[in-house]
Every structure is written in C-alpha cells, then in structure tokens.
Amino acid sequence: MTDFYDSLETRSADEREAALFAALPEQIRLAQADAPAYGRLLAGLDPAAITDRAALAKLPVTRKSELIDAQQADPPFASLIATPKSELRRVFASPGPIYDPEGWDNDWWRIARALFAAGFRRGDLMHNCFSYHFTPGGVMFETGAHALGCPVFPAGVGNTDNQAKAIADLKPQGYGGTPSFLKIILERAEELGLDHSSLTKACVSGEALLPPLRQGLKDLGVDVTQCYASADLGLIAYETAAREGLVVDEAIIVEIVRPGTGDPAPEGEVGEVVVTSFNQDYPLLRFATGDLSAVLPGVSPCGRTNMRLKGWMGRADQTTKIKGMFVHPRQIAEVIKRHPEVIRARLVVEGEAGADRLTLNIESAASGLEAALKDSFQSLCKLKTEIVLHAPGSLPNDGIVIQDKRA
C-alpha cells in the first residue's frame, strides 16, 4: 500500500515551483479571456511575465470578504467564473449569501488527496455527515471519496439516533464531517449500546479540531485528521499521519501576506492565506481567504515535501469601528510603508464607547519616530493615536494588526 496519493507529493521544492509557475501564465490567459472580471482587472497584463512569486505578488488581490457585495452588483458570480452557468454541474450558496459553482471534472474540489492522507482506500465506506443542501460540503467529500473508489452513505446532518443506528448496521470504515458531530454520534451510540467499532478513521473540517476533542475521539476508537478547504477554492491544505501542520495541496499556489494587503509576509510570520487556483471553471487568482496562518519551516516527517501551514489561526479581516470611523488593516500597512524603519505595527484600541484610546505599537530599531508616525496615522486614518516603540521581535507573531480590547 503506497503512502502517497501520487508522485506530486514527493517532488523537490524546485520541481514543484517550476511546474506551477510554468502553468500559471496559461491560467492567467484563461481568466483574462473567459472571466470578464479578470479581463477588466488584468487588462494590459502580459501573462508570460508572471513566472515567479515576486511577479505574482504584484497582481491585485481578490478578497472573499468583498464577494457578497460584488455578487449582488453583478449576479450571480461577479463575472469571476470562466464557464457559463448553463454548463456547470451544480451551484451552491454559502452564508452571506455567496454563490459558488461546481464543474464536471472528477474530484472537482480535489478532496481525494486529503481523504487518502487520512487513510481512506478503495472500498472503504464513508459515513458522510456534511450537509448536502445549499452548501457544498457533502458533495465535496462525496466526490473525493468516489475518486478513491469509496462508496458513501450520505448521512448529512442531524438525526443523531439514526446516524448511530446506521453506523452499527452499515459498519463504515470512515467518517467525513465536523469533529464535534462525530463525537456526538459516537457518544450516543455508546448510550444506546450500538456498535461503532468499524469506524476507525475520519477526515474532518468546518471547525477547529482542538487537542481535547481529538483525544476524545481517539478514546472512542477513531483516528482523526483534518483538512482546510473552502467552497470557492476546494482543498487548500490537509493533515497527514505526521500531525505536524497542514500540507498544501499540489494544485494551488499559497502565499502568506500581511493582513489587509497583498504584500508577502516574511517566512514564519502570521498573515492572511492567499490562494491562486488552477481550476479551469473558477480561475481565482490571488484569492484572499480571510484566514490567518503561517508557514512551518522544513518538510513534513511523513515524506510529503510541499509547504506546510500551521493551521487556522484566526481571521484576517480586523476592520474596527473607532470613534465612528472604520479603520482597516490596510491603513495600518500604509502607515508602515511611509516609514521604512518600521518592521511591524499593532494598533490597540481600549476604553469604552465614545472614549476610545488608541495606541500604535511599533517594532523598530530606530528612535525618534513618534511625531512622524502620529502625523502619518492621523493623515491616513483621520484619528489621533499614541505611539509606543518596541525592539524588533517584541510584538506577538499572531497576525493581529488591530486589537480591540474594549469591553
């Protein structure tokens, strides 16, 4: 039994980078030609020039946080898809609503790779507890399972007693769904005296898998791995048996950028996950997910060689209303750009409504910057702040640009 889904997982970093960036210009041409929004956004761009990360980082970011308004203004997909609606396989709606397409390719969401890493093999029956209506979770995991040759019981959500009974009767080998619902089902099976011993592995998503929950499921006989996926991008990264970070999928390019910007963050710094997809139907370029993470150094002990993410570390959209004004992370980034001596900044908001106190904490080896930084902040944010200088490396590496400490 092979340990890897395919040979792409064990390529050298140089091989992977060369292959992805050799394919990128054609993906950009596709987006320019067939997705009208990208045709406008990238007008005049020569795709042949985008052959490395430095060039990619100069392209504009498409933000998930802006999709709701964009789709309302230009329904249903904000002209970001490259395939006519009439030729799609399915259309889904996530909360917002945000509408997402699905094309006809086998394993369109690329979930099979994550399921394989979780131990699913041909013939294993999956008990699939992701929702099958409105949102795509159920279909994402079902099509991934089918790509591996795994039959699926489409359990969906709710009906805990019936879920436990089905597991006892059908004896599935694996589970797909949220980890908390799996625990609920297994504990109910225990209460009802129903056998769930066939279920020994699970690939979960949709919520945090905290260590106590993972251990609780292990105590109930299920070895759990998690994957990071979204309705617009499909699989982004997945956990392996090593349990050391999430390995990035082979069919995307991931960047970590400073929140509120498109600027690449230094290696190891927490920032926003930005993904470029090679999906032919939905060719999202530099798609800002709104999620925070960071890159782990080195490669996974499991032998997969792609970049690893630490996992979900919070939300990048930290827009905060202060004294009636919205302040965005990108404005803090603009303050930094005006002062090259500044390494990192963190705005802390304290006090009560109507009496907000602002402190802009700055990492810098330089001194005497306070007056100039106050002026820049007031010019860009239309608010006054105190400035506190810190030595390089002093501020937390957690991706937080605006910390709201008000009650």
Given this model, what pLDDT does residue 407 score? 67
Of 315, 346, 371, which residue is a domain's last? 315
Residue 7 falls inside a structural domain: no
Do residues 223 and 331 both lie within one domain? no
Residue 206 falls inside a structural domain: yes
Do residues 148 and 174 both lie within one domain? yes
In this structure, what CATH number is given to the domain that contains residue 56? 3.40.50.12780
Mean pLDDT confidence for 290-317: 93
Looking at the structure of the chain, the number of domains it has is 2
Do residues 262 and 361 both lie within one domain? no
Mean pLDDT confidence for 360-384: 94
Residue 260 falls inside a structural domain: yes
Assessment of whether the complete model's pTM goes beyond 0.85: yes
Residue 145 falls inside a structural domain: yes
E strand or H helix at 383: none
Do residues 285 and 347 both lie within one domain? no
Do residues 173 and 286 both lie within one domain? yes
Q: Beta-carbon neighbour count of residue 60 at 10 Å?
A: 12
Side chain identity, residue 261 = T
Residue 1 falls inside a structural domain: no
Of 315, 338, 366, which residue is a domain's last? 315
Residue 4 falls inside a structural domain: no
Of 285, 315, 345, which residue is a domain's last? 315
Tens-place pLDDT, residues 10-49: 999 999 999 999 999 999 999 999 999 999 999 999 999 9
Given this model, what pLDDT does residue 285 score? 98
> Distance (Å, rounded) from C-alpha 288 to C-alpha 290?
6
Residue 2 falls inside a structural domain: no
Tens-place pLDDT, residues 345-359: 999 999 875 578 999
Do residues 136 and 99 both lie within one domain? yes
In this structure, what CATH number is given to the domain that contains residue 365? 3.30.300.30
Which are the contacts of 64, defined by CB distance < 8 A and separation ≥ 6?
98, 230, 232, 287, 288, 289, 290
Do residues 310 and 332 both lie within one domain? no
Do residues 281 and 382 both lie within one domain? no
Do residues 242 and 272 both lie within one domain? yes
Given this model, what pLDDT does residue 353 score? 54
> Distance (Å, rounded) from C-alpha 149 to C-alpha 146?
5
Do residues 304 and 335 both lie within one domain? no
Residue 299 falls inside a structural domain: yes
| Domain extent for 148 | 13-315
Q: Which stretches does DSSP call E strand in 165-233?
A: 174-177, 201-204, 223-230
Tens-place pLDDT, residues 163-201: 999 999 999 999 999 999 999 999 999 999 999 999 999
Tens-place pLDDT, residues 123-173: 999 999 999 999 999 999 999 999 999 999 999 999 999 999 999 999 999
Given this model, what pLDDT does residue 335 score? 93
Do residues 73 and 218 both lie within one domain? yes
Do residues 233 and 200 both lie within one domain? yes
